[in-house]
Structures are given as C-alpha cells and as structure tokens.
Amino acid sequence: MAEQKKIVPELKINGKTMRPGNPKAKIWREVMKFADEKKEFTDGELMDKYAKVIALAFGGAVTAEDIMEQVELEEIVPTYRKIYAWVIDVATKKLEQIPNGETPEGK
C-alpha cells in the first residue's frame, strides 16, 4: 500500500508562504472545541474564530488580526479545513502507534 501524502496546511501572507511546525496538543484541543461549538456562533464570531484557530496553528508567526487583514476571504475557511484535517491526521497517526494493552486469555 502506498503511503499517503502528509497533509500540511499553508498560509500565504504578503507574498510569503508559511507552513506550521508540528501541531501541539493546544491546537488539537482548540480545533476539537471549535468543531463542537461552531453552531453557536454568529457569522462574524465564526470568522473571528477561524482566524484565531489558524493563527494558533501557525504558532504565533501570525495573529488573528493578520489573518483577517491579509488573507483573502475565500481562503479563510479552506485554510481552517486544511488545519482541521492536518491536526486530525497527525493525532490519529500518533494514536495508531500506541500499542493496545494485552488482554487476559480466556476473557
């Protein structure tokens, strides 16, 4: 089976393409929390939250304000979706590496 290409989001700001470092638990926690809360936001709040999650994923290299001012509107949601897929992909792969505990025989 061919190995699947690793998903890593990119962000273009001021003609510069940026890629985040390896995701930390904080971004995973924020992505999961946001996924659960999305239905509770107004449209404006939703866009602000997308920008905050994107900025968090890029580890402080950009701010949510940078995202809102410099990223094309039609790129914000797709960038968030790439971040979501990337975080889930990394977390899933790590979880698959954890060995299952041995089960007692006969149970």
Amino acid at 37: E
- For 38, the domain range is 20-95
If you average pLDDT over each of 24-28, 59-63, 64-68, 96-100, which comes out highest? 64-68
* Residue 101 belongs to a domain: no
* Residue 11 belongs to a domain: no
Distances (CA, A) of 16 to 6, 8, 51, 72, 80: 21, 16, 18, 14, 18
* Residue 76 belongs to a domain: yes
* Residue 102 belongs to a domain: no
* Residue 3 belongs to a domain: no
* Residue 4 belongs to a domain: no
Amino acid at 41: F
* Residue 39 belongs to a domain: yes
* Residue 72 belongs to a domain: yes
More confident residue, 106 or 15: 15
Distance of CA 82 to the CA centre of its chain: 7
Number of domains into which the chain is organized: 1
- For the stretch 15-40, pLDDT in tens is 889 999 888 889 989 999 998 887 78
